[in-house]
Amino acid sequence: MKTVITATDAARHLGDYLARVRFRNEHFVLTKNEKPVAELSPAIGSGTATWGDLCRAVKGLPLDPAFADDLDAVNRSDKPLQNPWD
């Protein structure tokens, strides 16, 4: 949902609107003489991905059939640290 604000209000309270865009993912339409002239919204790639976005991205990745074998190899090669007081 986009909130309509005047350009004057945006200029007076720009810091507040930028914080709302950044931290609340809000979108604004700026108007001049009651006509829309610009939009204020999060920039692409600005870190506003949600958990759902991440899940959808991961779901689209190809499976690696050798991954379990790689984990086993790492676990077999992992040795406990030597106790320096022994």
Which tens digits make up the pLDDT trace of 67-84? 999 999 998 888 888 888
Q: What is d(CA 85, CA 61) in angstroms, rounded to the nearest whole number? A: 47
Evaluate whether residue 71 is within a structural domain. Answer: no
Evaluate whether residue 46 is within a structural domain. Answer: yes
Residue whose entry in the numeric block shows the structure tokens 């870190």: 47
Nearest to 38 by CA among 67, 13, 7: 7
Evaluate whether residue 70 is within a structural domain. Answer: no
Evaluate whether residue 58 is within a structural domain. Answer: yes
Q: Averaged over 33-62, what is the pLDDT?
A: 87
Secondary structure (3-state) at 35: strand
Q: How many helices (H) and strands (E) does the chain have?
A: 4, 3
Secondary structure (3-state) at 3: strand
State the residue range of the domain holding 54: 2-62
Evaluate whether residue 37 is within a structural domain. Answer: yes
Global pTM reads 0.54
Which tens digits make up the pLDDT trace of 9-23? 999 999 999 999 988
Assess contact for 5 and 18: CB atoms under 8 A: no
Tell me what pLDDT residue 79 has.
82
CATH number for the domain including 49?
3.40.1620
Which tens digits make up the pLDDT trace of 48-63? 678 888 899 889 889 8
Evaluate whether residue 80 is within a structural domain. Answer: no
Evaluate whether residue 34 is within a structural domain. Answer: yes
Name the domain count of the chain. Answer: 1
